[in-house]
């Protein structure tokens, strides 16, 4: 084989890896888009049940087609305080199981057959998917077509890698050289470094499977490269955790301990087996005998066996793993006392379907903060008790923070290619909703100013005015509760009830203005008290308008 041919096969291998990675990304984005509602429901069921956590982590990774994305998303949940370290550990365990599915698919595509070429058969899915996508009228059908195309393109890339490996396998010098690379540490490090570079343990494992299938490396070598890939995949989570909270760093550390510990445990077990049997038996020999004459299946099955066995061993010890991470990364003693997100985290953007759900939870939380400030303001103007003024000011800072920073998150989400149309329409409506809640906070600030004005002049409202304010405040809280239920559930049947409450608010504010004029004529209140009273009723009426606005939108509420 001359230099030109060698260069051609090297370029073919690089092209194959590139096509493979593009296909994985294509499959991941479209699977996520078509499964967005399922993903949301999936992660909403994360609980203290360890087996459930593992199952959710595995299913999410199969849908997303990336254990790295699952880890990054888990770090985001931990960073936002949504899940505990124990729950995060089980999700990571599940992710390691879910990622083995890709290896099984690759092994299936490399089967030899006298009847037809399996790789060509699966590669034809690329054309089938394109035709389906071209003529699709519904978004989900288009996504399905793109998913099918993605699988076809994956096998095209796999075929290119396989062809290049077969060509390299004909080079005796290369085979001799690779056969001499039998140092376990070197192979593991190589697998880890390449995985860290391409950010995909599935891709590294697939490359190893094609090399083993072509006879370029032995099964033993492929096993050690795959073990290295399991360690290298921790790099993605480590990068995500570097600028995150202490618990996020602990989550990344737990993944590193779990994956590295599993590799070390396997190596020790393998050495013991070899020692006892005089090097006549090992994990490699075991899988060679179990799946004879199918080297690609041997490595794929080993990968699945290793990851499942690691989880089964470590799962009962997960609480110890959590304690170890807390010991190794102690709290720095500092506590957060400024503005922050409660449910959203930048790392969740890697999985838009879940990020959209968290945006909605963040907006609902913003609504709670806004109505809390309204109630504090009403209480202050009625009682002149300012003990919650500091809480009010902190809440206002939080509202301003969310008004500016949550919009940035939403803008990034709407620009993502794999966002579903339903989620895109929902996100497009959130700008106004966020502004509505921020304005409620502003009107509550006005009420505080009216209270301070009354205090300055040593004045107060009459008993009749206080009763009207109580009634108005109750209606606002009723409207808030109904509106939030409609917003969270997406059931617009409650909108009619909300409109009736808003009509009562409008009627009451008109009545308040009339009663104020009567009291003013009777001399039961001063001009200044009357002015503050009218401004208060006007602001509260506008708060009602903003509450009704959040459901008065022409879009299908995402839920």
The C-alpha atoms of residue 106 and residue 442 are separated, in whole angstroms, by 58
When pLDDT is averaged across residues 504-523 and rounded to a whole number, the result is: 86
When pLDDT is averaged across residues 485-510 and rounded to a whole number, the result is: 86
Residue 544 has pLDDT above 50, yes or no: yes
pLDDT band (50, 70, 90) for residue 333: low
State residue 477's pLDDT score: 95
Residue 556 has pLDDT above 70, yes or no: no
The C-alpha atoms of residue 298 and residue 320 are separated, in whole angstroms, by 33
State residue 115's pLDDT score: 53
When pLDDT is averaged across residues 139-158 and rounded to a whole number, the result is: 88
State residue 265's pLDDT score: 94
Of 552 and 500, the structure prediction assigns the larger pLDDT to 500
State residue 67's pLDDT score: 78
Homologous superfamily, domain 346-549: Phosphate transport system protein phou homolog 2; domain 2 (1.20.58.220)
When pLDDT is averaged across residues 463-469 and rounded to a whole number, the result is: 90
State how far the alpha carbon of 428 is from the alpha carbons of 64, 423, 487, 554, in Å: 24, 9, 15, 11
What pLDDT, in 10s, does the model give residues 76-134?
A: 888 767 788 898 999 999 999 998 998 898 888 777 655 556 778 888 999 999 999 88
State residue 557's pLDDT score: 40
Contact 208, 296 (CB under 8 A): no
State residue 397's pLDDT score: 92
Q: Where are the beta strands (DSSP E) in 209-271?
A: none
State residue 202's pLDDT score: 85
Residue 145 has pLDDT above 50, yes or no: yes
pLDDT band (50, 70, 90) for residue 335: very low
Residue 554 has pLDDT above 50, yes or no: no
Residue 555 has pLDDT above 50, yes or no: no
Residue 434 has pLDDT above 60, yes or no: yes
The C-alpha atoms of residue 152 and residue 113 are separated, in whole angstroms, by 18
The C-alpha atoms of residue 57 and residue 406 are separated, in whole angstroms, by 27
Residue 338 has pLDDT above 90, yes or no: no
Residue 34 has pLDDT above 80, yes or no: no
Please tell me which of 172-181, 274-283, 303-312, 326-335 the model is most confident about, judged by mean pLDDT: 303-312
State residue 549's pLDDT score: 87
State residue 377's pLDDT score: 95
State residue 116's pLDDT score: 59
Nearest to 302, CA basis, from 277, 285, 278, 279: 285
When pLDDT is averaged across residues 237-265 and rounded to a whole number, the result is: 87
The C-alpha atoms of residue 63 and residue 494 are separated, in whole angstroms, by 34
What pLDDT, in 10s, does the model give residues 187-233?
A: 999 999 999 888 888 889 989 999 999 898 999 999 999 999 999 98
Contact 154, 129 (CB under 8 A): no
The average confidence (pLDDT) of the chain is: 86
Nearest to 302, CA basis, from 288, 312, 281: 288
pLDDT band (50, 70, 90) for residue 1: low
Of 341 and 263, the structure prediction assigns the larger pLDDT to 263
Taking the domains of the chain in order of start, what are their residue ranges? 3-328, 346-549
Query: For residue 341, what is the DSSP state?
Result: -
Cβ neighbours of residue 225 closer than 8 Å, sequence gap 6 or more: 187, 188, 190, 191, 204, 208, 217
User: What ranges in 278-388 are assigned the alpha helix state H?
Assistant: 283-290, 295-314, 318-328, 352-383
């Amino acid at each position: 084989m001359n230099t030109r041919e060698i260069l051609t096969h090297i370029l073919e291998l690089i092209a194959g890896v590139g096509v493979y990675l593009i296909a994985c990304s294509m499959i991941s984005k479209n699977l996520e888009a078509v499964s967005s509602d399922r993903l949301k429901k999936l992660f909403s069921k994360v609980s203290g049940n360890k087996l459930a956590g593992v199952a959710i982590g595995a299913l999410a990774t199969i849908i997303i087609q990336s254990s790295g994305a699952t880890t990054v998303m888990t770090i985001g949940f931990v960073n936002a305080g949504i899940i505990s370290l124990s729950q995060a550990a089980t999700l990571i365990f599940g992710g390691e199981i879910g990622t083995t599915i890709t290896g099984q698919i690759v092994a299936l595509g490399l089967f030899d057959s006298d009847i037809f070429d399996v790789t060509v058969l699966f590669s034809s899915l690329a054309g089938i998917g394109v035709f389906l996508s071209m003529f699709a009228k519904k978004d989900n059908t288009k996504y399905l077509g793109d998913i099918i195309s993605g699988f076809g393109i994956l096998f095209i890339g796999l075929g290119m890698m396989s062809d290049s490996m077969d060509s390299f396998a004909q080079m005796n010098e290369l085979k001799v050289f690779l056969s001499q690379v039998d140092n376990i540490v070197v192979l593991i490090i190589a697998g880890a470094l390449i995985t860290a570079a391409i950010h995909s343990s599935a891709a590294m494992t697939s490359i190893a499977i094609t090399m083993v299938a072509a006879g370029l490396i032995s099964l033993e070598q492929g096993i050690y490269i795959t073990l290295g890939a399991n360690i290298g995949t921790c790099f993605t989570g480590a990068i995500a955790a570097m600028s995150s909270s202490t618990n996020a760093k602990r989550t990344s550390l737990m993944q590193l301990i779990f994956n590295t510990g599993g590799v070390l445990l396997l190596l020790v077990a393998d050495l013991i087996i070899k020692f006892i049997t005089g090097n006549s038996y090992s994990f490699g020999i075991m899988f060679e005998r179990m799946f004879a004459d199918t080297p690609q299946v041997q490595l794929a099955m080993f990968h699945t066996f290793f990851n499942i066995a690691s989880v089964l061993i470590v799962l009962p010890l997960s609480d110890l793993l959590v304690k170890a991470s807390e010991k190794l990364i102690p709290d720095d003693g500092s506590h957060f006392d400024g503005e922050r997100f409660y449910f959203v985290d930048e790392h969740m953007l890697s999985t838009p379907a879940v990020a959209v759900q968290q945006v909605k939870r963040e907006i609902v939380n913003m609504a709670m903060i806004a109505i809390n400030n309204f109630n504090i303001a009403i209480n202050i103007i009625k009682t002149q008790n300012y003990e919650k003024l500091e809480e009010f000011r902190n809440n206002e800072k939080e509202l301003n923070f969310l008004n500016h920073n949550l919009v940035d998150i939403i803008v990034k989400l709407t620009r993502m290619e794999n966002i579903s149309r339903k989620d895109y329409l929902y996100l497009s409506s959130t700008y106004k909703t966020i502004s509505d809640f921020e304005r409620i906070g502003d009107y509550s600030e006005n009420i505080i100013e009216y209270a301070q004005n009354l205090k300055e002049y040593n004045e107060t409202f009459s008993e009749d005015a206080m009763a009207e304010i109580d009634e108005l405040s109750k209606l606002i809280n009723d409207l808030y509760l109904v509106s939030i239920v409609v917003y969270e559930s997406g059931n617009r049947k409650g909108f009619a009830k909300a409109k009736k409450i808003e009509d009562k608010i409008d009627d009451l504010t008109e009545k308040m203005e009339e009663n104020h004029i009567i009291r003013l004529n009777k001399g039961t209140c001063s001009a200044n008290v009357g002015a503050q009273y009218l401004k208060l009723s006007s602001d509260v009426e506008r708060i009602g308008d903003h509450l009704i606005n959040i459901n008065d939108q022409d879009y299908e509420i995402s839920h």
